[in-house]
Structure 1
Amino acid sequence: MSESFKAFVLTKADGKFNAGVQQLTFDDLPAGDVTVRVQYSSINYKDGLACLPESPVVMSYPMVPGIDLAGTVAESNDPRFKVGQEVIAIGRELGIAHYGGYAEYTRLPGAWIEPLPAGLTLKQAMMLGTAGFTAGLSIQRLEENGLKPGDGRVLVTGATGGVGSTAVNMLAGLGYEVSASTGKTSEHDYLRELGATEILDRDEVSAASEAPLEGERWAGAIDPVGGDTLGYLLRTTRYQGSVANCGLTGGPALSTTVLPFILRGVNLLGIDSVQCPEDVRAGVWKRLGTDLKPSGLSDSIANEITLEEIPATAGSILAGAVRGRTLVSL
């Protein structure tokens, strides 16, 4: 291994914030059982938040962001992982309290690492990344609560983002009738290519309402938006339908009543990819390499950038200006 390597590092000292590419050494890496040569990471909404000067998610500085990564084992003190083995890691404290994926090497606790799932290359695993895993986990939770193809329309909000775009494509591949909401009229053809057969304007699904219930419309929903959009979904989901909420790009506040829950039996499912139990995590990744693997993964969902391009893309993802998934190539 080389003595130094490239990393995208966040620093804050004496009130001055800096974000840029630096040279690190292996002595700079945090403690861990396994050193990984990172080949790919990705940019998620949380990574965008990490790159803000007053970040609400970064717990200490300096920090290498990147909440997911895929690469090969370079050194290992964990008998489960051998040098040269292809592995992935997402969530836990990556990129917020422990150096993450935006570096050519990182060192991690063995418990945070998983073997590369069958059916995926390292590149494909990070084309999915945290956002794709979250979409897959959302679908699995909806199905565990009774959703199946033929039940009716499933709405995906924030549909051009990382979670939304992969969810649309996954659901369509499973045979669901998929509706998608977006504020970008220019992206309707893109969403249809992914498998959406109905497209709603974002304003329709985010309008505030004093009505505690509205007409029953959705068999289920995947919502990375939150805020008023989540309130709309709870008011309009069918009897015993489920809403999987996995994000807050529309804000953390929620205005609702108990009526969707006690009169319609609606299920509000909280989706957490960070501390997801190991057995559930392994099961979802297995599906991501098989029945949940998006058909448009390489062609239309993902694009690729370098470490030097991270600041611009992090700003764009917070502004809602990024389509699909953005892969960081090391």
Structure 2
Amino acid sequence: MRAAVCVKAGGPEVLEIRELPVPAVREGWSLVQVKGTGLNRSELRTRQGHSPNVTFPRVLGIECVGIVAASTDPALPDGTTVAAVMGEMGREFDGGYAEYALLPNALLMPITTTLPWDVLAALPETYLTARGSLDALGVVAGGQGRLLIRGGTSSVGMAAASIAAGYGVETAATTRRPGKVGALTGAGVDHVLVDAGGSLAASVHAVWPEGPDHVLDLVGARTAVDSLHLVRRGGTVCVSGSLSGWAIPDFEPIAMVPSGTKLTAFHSDDFKGSAGATVLQRIVHEVEAGVYRPNVDRVFGLDDIVAAHRYMENDQATGKVVVVP
């Protein structure tokens, strides 16, 4: 089989297309013929050498969709359409950047769908993270509350905007690139804020003088403290992204978290396997019905994985980048 192998830590050029043996099934693991995989910035950082306990060479990819080719689980017979996310895919064991992936049965989510593979591949990690983050914030259908999405043109940001619009929630979102404003309004964002790299206080308070009720921070470490001071007193900030890295340097909770304001997080491992199957199936049905937009920015072939990583690393995408074998 063909696979994109990260041979060492470095730039996009360390991803090489190689011929590898198709993995043999073993107890508790099934073979999946990969039909598509969404790219994620965590894979970029793994490629750069920033993920702990990752040894090279490694086939990256923390998610994929495909068909069960050789099953060891009677509940997942051969031919079942499945999705898989996280669970150390592409880190402790080879992931989705290949024609086949050997995956733990506990990660596999059976899906019924009429969506094309590239659209289905854009959904699992992105929409599960967006849905889980909005749940963590307490954003529900009915239009209650005001939501600010930082990192709005990321794939999760676009998905969260689409879900929030479906909920009827008033939403603002940030982008660093004025040329992406139209994509955000098209996703249902009511107020687009161009982030010049400093505090957003003036822009946010011009829209909502008391601040938003909820902030979904997908930029992460660099902006989390600022977000805590943007949300209204007693509001909630959820950090679900790491566009600016993993850790908040010199974090002092008592000094940095305003009294009564809440800081939470969401990790998509919460929705892996059976825990996410029902949620993902509902998302798939809602995309099929036109309630949500899949927000596919661009589809690359596996042979173009270097170009795909470079495209992602240069922040050229507005929404999800997908690779198909």
TM-score between the two structures when normalised by the length of structure 1? 0.84
Alignment CA distance shift 1:152-1:307 (3 Å): same
Contact 2:286 2:292 in 1 (8 A): no
**Amino acid of the residue matched to residue 87 of structure 1?**
V
The verdict on how the C-alpha distance between 1:151 and 1:238 changes in structure 2, with shifts beyond 3 A counting, is: farther
- 1:169 corresponds to which residue? 162
Q: Which residue of structure 2 lines up, in the alignment, with residue 195 of structure 1? A: 188
Verify the 8 A CA contact 1:208 1:228 in the aligned structure 2.
no
Separation of aligned partners in 2, 1:73 and 1:127: 19
Match of 1:67 in 2: 62
Please tell me whether residue 220 in structure 1 is matched to residue 214 in structure 2: yes
1:113 pairs, out of 87, 108, 111, with 108
Structure 1 residues 28, 158: CA separation in 2 closer, same or farther (over 3 Å shift)? same
Counterpart residue type for residue 238 of structure 1: R
Q: 1:24 aligns with which of 20, 23, 32?
A: 20
- The CA deviation at 1:281 is 2.2
- Post-superposition shift, 1:292? 7.6
Is this contact kept in 2: 1:181–1:205, CA < 8 A? Answer: no
Which one-letter code corresponds to 2:243 in the other structure?
T
Q: Say which is worse superposed, 28-37 or 222-231, in terms of deviation.
A: 28-37
Distance 1:204 1:218, change over 3 A: farther
CA spacing shift, 1:76–1:28, aligned 2, 3 Å: closer
Match of 1:43 in 2: 39
- The verdict on how the C-alpha distance between 1:319 and 1:206 changes in structure 2, with shifts beyond 3 A counting, is farther
Deviation per CA, 1:244-280: give whole Å up to 9, x if none: 21122124225565378663x2221211113546564
Bigger drift between 59-68 and 226-235 goes to: 226-235
Structure 1 residues without counterparts, runs of 5 or longer: none
Identify the residue that residue 155 of structure 1 maps to in structure 2. Answer: 148
Q: Which of the residues 173, 182, 186 maps onto 2:175?
A: 182
Alignment counterpart, residue 93 of structure 2, candidates 93, 98, 112? 98
Cα distance in 1 for residues equivalent to 2:272 and 2:298:
30
Which amino acid is the alignment partner of residue 215 of structure 2? A
Structure 2: distance between partners of 1:18 and 1:277: 29
Instruction: Quote the offset at 1:22 in angstroms.
Output: 1.0
1:222 CA displacement: 1.2
Q: Give the deviation of 1:40 after TM superposition.
A: 0.7
Q: Distance in 2 between matches of 1:215 and 1:282?
A: 40
Q: Which amino acid aligns with 2:44?
A: G
Q: Secondary structure at the match of 1:297?
A: coil
2:301 paired residue among 283, 306, 322 = 306
In structure 2, what is the Cα distance between the partners aligned to 1:90 and 1:140?
19
| Separation (CA, whole Å) in 2 of partners of 1:45 and 1:58 | 18
The question of whether the paired residues in 1 share the 8 Å contact of 2:111 and 2:281 is answered with no
1:243–1:267 CA contact under 8 A, matched in 2: yes
In the TM superposition, residue 155 of structure 1 has moved relative to its aligned partner by: 0.5
Deviation at 1:46, TM superposition (A): 1.1
Cα offsets for 1:187-232 (capped at 9, x unmatched)? 11111111111111223764699xxxx9631111211111342212
Q: How many equivalent residue pairs? A: 314
1:230 matched to which residue of 2?
224
SS at match of 2:268: coil
| 8 Å Cα contact 2:107-2:274 kept in structure 1 | no
Q: Give how far 1:56 is off.
A: 2.9
1:320 is aligned to 2:315 = yes
CA distance in 2 between counterparts of 1:205 and 1:132 reads: 28
Mean Cα deviation higher: 243-252 or 63-72 = 243-252
Moved more, 26-35 or 132-141: 26-35
Give the Cα separation in 2 of the matches to 1:31 and 1:41. Answer: 24
* RMSD of Structure 2 on Structure 1 (CA): 3.0
One-letter code aligned to 1:50: T
Instruction: State the shift of 1:7 in Å.
Output: 0.9
The one-letter code sitting in structure 2 at the alignment partner of 1:244 is C
Contact 1:147 1:219 in 2 (8 A): no
Note if contact 2:106-2:274 (Cα within 8 Å) is conserved in structure 1.
no
